[in-house]
Amino acid sequence: MEFRKIFDTIPDQFDKYRPRYSPALFADLIAYANVGTGKAVLELGPGTGQATEPILRTGCDYLAIELGEHLAAKMRENFEAYSNFSIVCDDFITHDFGEQRFDMIYSAATIQWIPEEIAFRKTFSLLKPGGTLAMMLTRSDYRTPNEALYREIQQVYETHWRPAEHYGQKFVYTNAVHYGYVDFERREYGGRREMTAEEYVAFSGTHCDHIDLPEPHKTAFFEGLRNAVLAAGDRIVFEDTYVLMLAKKPA
């Protein structure tokens, strides 16, 4: 199975344990793109909606496109009460949007799964003049707040990490300016998460290459993670940085 489809195998776990984004990030994004009633917004690959509800609450005309049928079903379950919510289960790369055009297109840790040229050219063509492309991701640091535990976890990786495939992305966000976008900028916001051993194991199990870890390594690997956090007081802290990258289609 290709990596970009693997999250569809764990919709409930993905929904519960994937991190959400900073309220300050959404406040800035909504103000920057002037999102609200009468504005059309497209979210690329929303998963189960980790970055969806703050946008829906603006009253905009919201559309999501999600590749995974189980993730799309979870999205419907989570947001069908919103009258401005709609979703199509299809591949953004090949989907025909017809005459639809958007005031904002945004991605939360998704656009990098699309080949760069397709991602930037197609989003550019789908945006209205003056429209916003917004790209979010999370950078997490668990070494600084848990130095000793970090070393123990690295030992677990050293001993048991035998992935079926090595995941690598070659997506350069700043290259948006080579496809017609202007006014590229990057903003950062802080966050903090604390997890128990069980929560950390479940969260780790939502990473694409961790989902795909073959046996017998998978069981030993996750048991090693669990035991390391339990020995550290059943607590691990993540210092998160939420990154928001913005670009405009010229008016």
Name the band, by pLDDT with cuts 50, 70 and 90, for residue 163. confident
Q: Specify the higher pLDDT residue, 59 or 168.
A: 59
Q: Specify the higher pLDDT residue, 153 or 164.
A: 153
What percent of the chain has a predicted confidence (pLDDT) above 70?
Answer: 97
Q: Note the pLDDT of residue 167.
A: 66
pLDDT above 60 (res 193): yes
Q: 18-43 pLDDT, tens per residue?
A: 999 999 999 999 999 999 999 999 99
Degrees to nearest 5, angle at CA 136 with 121 and 102: 45
Helices 147-160 & 217-231 angle (0-180, nearest 10): 160
> Which of helix, strand or coil describes residue 164?
coil
Q: Note the pLDDT of residue 4.
A: 77
Report the alpha-carbon distance of residue 104 to residue 197 in Å, rounded: 39
Q: Among 71, 75, 31, 24, which Cα is nearest to 53's?
A: 75
Calculate the average pLDDT of the chain: 95
Q: How far is CA 133 from the centre of its chain?
A: 15
Query: Which of 60-64, 138-142, 165-169 has the weakest average pLDDT?
Result: 165-169
Q: 46-96 pLDDT, tens per residue?
A: 999 999 999 999 999 999 999 999 999 999 999 999 999 999 999 999 999
Average pLDDT on 87-107 reads 98
26 φψ region: left (φ > 0), alpha (ψ -120 to 50), beta (else): alpha
Q: 202-234 pLDDT, tens per residue?
A: 999 999 889 988 999 999 999 999 999 999 999
Q: In this structure, is the dihedral angle defined by the CA atoms of residues 201, 206, 210 and 214, taken in order, positive or negative?
A: positive
Q: 112-128 pLDDT, tens per residue?
A: 999 999 999 999 999 99
Q: Set out the domains of the chain in order of their start, with CATH numbers.
A: 3-140+168-192+240-248 (3.40.50.150)
Joined together, the tokens standing for residue 116 give: 């760069």
pTM above 0.85, yes or no: yes
Q: Assess contact for 29 and 244: CB atoms under 8 A.
A: yes
Joined together, the tokens standing for residue 113 give: 């799964």
pLDDT above 80 (res 2): no
For residue 63, CA distances in Å to 34, 53, 56 come to: 17, 12, 10
pLDDT above 80 (res 134): yes
Specify the pairing of strand 102-108 against strand 127-141.
parallel
Q: In this structure, is the dihedral angle defined by the CA atoms of residues 63, 64, 70 and 75, taken in order, positive or negative?
A: negative
pLDDT above 90 (res 196): yes
Q: Among 4, 19, 8, which Cα is nearest to 202's?
A: 19
Q: Note the pLDDT of residue 1.
A: 56
Kind and range of the H or E element at 244? strand 236-248
Which residues lie closer than 8 Å to 37 by C-beta, 6 or more apart?
58, 59, 60
Q: Note the pLDDT of residue 95.
A: 98
Q: For residue 221, what is the DSSP state?
A: H
Q: Note the pLDDT of residue 212.
A: 86
